[in-house]
């Protein structure tokens, strides 16, 4: 192996590459393109994954939403079309009977499903907005990002039915001057004074937007005369539970409570966020798999092309190899030089592809910036994936180099010297 560190070995490799510059460049492009494609596709897949995860970063993904609809099957003397009204009694029952539940948050809202919006007034300005009645639990399911100095609804607000509210950033911009402090200010909602205790920032995963108002649930029920009725509930399963199974259990229990036929799938509507997240994760995993398949296939094609070029090179250098053998070069030295040339070409080609792929990802990331319209966030490649790819290139380069190397060793010195 000492020939690797000899200057003559590298001079001969350089000379061989220099003689066939165009052919070598065209061949190297195959491996370069393969690594470039591998890096860019893997980076884009990672960017999509980062973007998706950031949208649900503050949201419990093992969550479902449940609301009442109309029955579709008669049962126990009740006709079909009976309206299901969820109440706080349902919430209490589910808390005590379904062990899978980690959090359950009953919610009410005005400004949806045909109900009039709340009237928000500050000074001479007024506007109509959605008003939510919530427990502090909702902040554990979907975390609200608050501006400095503000807070979300707490248990004391619920207990004492405080007239406090949290407003969205869009409402703040409409009713307050820039840098004006809204915390502690008093506003009117449906003719009743409320104290502003917080302003929340919009988040990508939020379902309320940034133009909504939050009130303590108990205060909401009193003001809008809702009694124990609720619009819907948000339920998060425990970390070790399957939200799909939890959803089925909850619906079965509610059907028994409300005398709904066991086969009636229309009485209660639901949306399972965990199931949707799993589908997206499956899509992203599929993209990564396709990236690996395309990248590896392209790499193999490029490395094979290098092997073919080296075979041609060996044939053109038959006389030169014969002279070296006649002067005392051992078969291992001849074989080693050809294999070293193969490894060198594949490694350099891979390195160039990696550098160009990384530059493209950097350029894309810079161009996108904080643009939320493009579903890419910090498209990068995993260090171990790139390291593995480079190792595979060297290994493939070594293996493919064995073919022309063995061809060179099989050349007999006397026959090589006779060849014109």
pLDDT level of residue 277 (50, 70, 90 thresholds) = confident
Residues 61-100: pLDDT tens digits?
788 899 999 999 998 888 999 999 999 999 999 999 999 9
Say whether 83 sits in a helix, a strand or coil.
Answer: strand
For residue 163, pLDDT over 70 is answered with yes
How far apart (Å, rounded) are the C-alpha atoms in residues 150 and 139? 14
The predicted pLDDT at position 23 comes to 67
Tell me what pLDDT residue 139 has: 86
Average pLDDT, the chain: 81
pLDDT-derived band at 221, boundaries 50, 70, 90: very high
CA distance 66 to 235: 8
DSSP string covering 309-329? HHHHHHHHTHHHHHHHHHTT-
| Residue among 156, 111, 155, 146 nearest 129 (CA) | 111
Residue of 135, 207, 116 lying closest to 168 (CA atoms): 207
Predicted confidence (pLDDT) per residue in 281-308, tens digit: 788 788 778 877 877 787 777 777 767 7
At 170 the pLDDT is: 93
- Residues 233 and 60: their CA atoms lie apart, in Å, by 14
pLDDT tens digits for range 44-69: 888 877 776 666 655 667 888 999 99
**Residue closest to 189 by CA, chosen among 207, 167, 209, 205:** 167
> Do residues 190 and 139 make contact, with C-beta atoms less than 8 angstroms apart?
no
Asked if pLDDT for residue 122 goes beyond 90, the answer is yes
Percent over 90 (pLDDT), the chain: 35
Is the pLDDT assigned to residue 190 strictly greater than 60?
A: yes
pLDDT value, residue 272: 85
- The span from the CA of 277 to the CA of 244, in Å, is 12
Given this model, what pLDDT does residue 285 score? 81
Q: What's the chain's length in residues?
A: 420
How far is 391 from 157, CA to CA, in rounded Å?
61
Q: Are 26 and 349 in contact (CB under 8 A)?
A: no
Closest to 105 (Cα-Cα) out of 129, 132, 71: 132
Residue 201 sits at φ, ψ, to 5 deg, of: -85, 150
pLDDT band at 119 (very low <50, low <70, confident <90, very high): very high
User: Are 418 and 60 spatial neighbours (Cβ–Cβ below 8 Å)?
Assistant: no
Between 355 and 418, name the one with better pLDDT.
355
What tens digit of pLDDT does each residue of 343-390 get? 777 788 888 888 888 898 888 888 877 666 666 777 887 777 777 777
Cα–Cα distance, 420 to 166 (Å, whole number): 91
Helix (H) or strand (E) holding 361: helix 331-368
Chain segment 251-260, per-residue pLDDT in tens:
999 999 999 9
pLDDT digits 0-9 by tens, 138-148: 988 888 888 88
Beta carbons of 145 and 124 less than 8 angstroms apart: no
21/67: higher pLDDT: 67
* Model pLDDT, residue 125: 93
């Amino acid at each position: 192996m000492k020939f690797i560190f000899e200057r003559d070995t590298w001079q001969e490799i350089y000379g061989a590459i220099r003689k066939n510059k165009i052919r070598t460049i065209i061949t190297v492009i195959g491996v370069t393109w393969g690594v470039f494609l591998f890096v860019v596709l893997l980076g884009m897949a990672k960017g999509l994954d980062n973007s998706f995860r950031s949208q649900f970063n503050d949201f419990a993904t093992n969550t479902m939403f449940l609301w009442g609809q109309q029955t579709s099957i008669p049962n126990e003397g009740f006709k079909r079309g009976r309206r299901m009204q969820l109440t706080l009694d349902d919430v209490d029952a589910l808390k005590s009977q379904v062990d899978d539940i980690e959090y359950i948050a009953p919610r009410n809202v005005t400004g949806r499903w045909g109900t009039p919006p709340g009237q928000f007034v500050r000074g001479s300005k007024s506007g109509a907005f959605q008003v939510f009645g919530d427990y502090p639990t909702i902040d554990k399911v979907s975390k609200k990002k608050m501006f400095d100095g503000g807070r979300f609804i707490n248990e004391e607000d619920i207990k004492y039915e405080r007239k406090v509210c949290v407003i969205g950033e869009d409402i703040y911009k409409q009713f307050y001057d820039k840098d004006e402090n809204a915390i502690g200010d008093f506003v009117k909602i449906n003719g009743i004074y409320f104290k502003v205790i917080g302003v929340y920032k919009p988040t990508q995963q939020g379902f309320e937007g940034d133009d909504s108002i939050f009130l303590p649930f108990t205060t909401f029920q009193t003001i809008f005369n809702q009694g124990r009725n609720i619009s819907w509930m948000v339920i998060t399963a425990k970390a070790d539970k399957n939200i799909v199974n939890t959803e089925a259990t909850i619906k079965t229990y509610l059907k028994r409570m409300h005398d709904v036929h066991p086969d009636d799938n229309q009485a209660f509507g639901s949306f399972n966020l965990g199931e949707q997240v799993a589908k997206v994760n499956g899509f992203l995993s599929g993209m990564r798999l396709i990236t690996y398949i395309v990248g590896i296939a392209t790499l193999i094609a490029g490395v094979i092309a290098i092997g073919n070029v080296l075979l041609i090179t060996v044939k053109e250098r038959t006389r030169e190899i014969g002279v070296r053998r006649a002067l005392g070069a051992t078969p291992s030295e001849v074989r080693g030089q050809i294999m070293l040339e193969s490894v060198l070409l594949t490694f350099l080609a891979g390195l160039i592809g990696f550098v160009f792929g990384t530059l493209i990802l950097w350029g894309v990331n810079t161009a996108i910036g904080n643009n939320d319209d493009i579903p890419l966030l910090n498209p990068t490649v995993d260090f171990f994936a790139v390291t593995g790819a480079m190792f595979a290139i060297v290994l493939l380069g070594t293996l493919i180099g064995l073919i022309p190397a063995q061809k060179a060793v099989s050349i007999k010195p006397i026959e090589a010297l006779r060849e014109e």
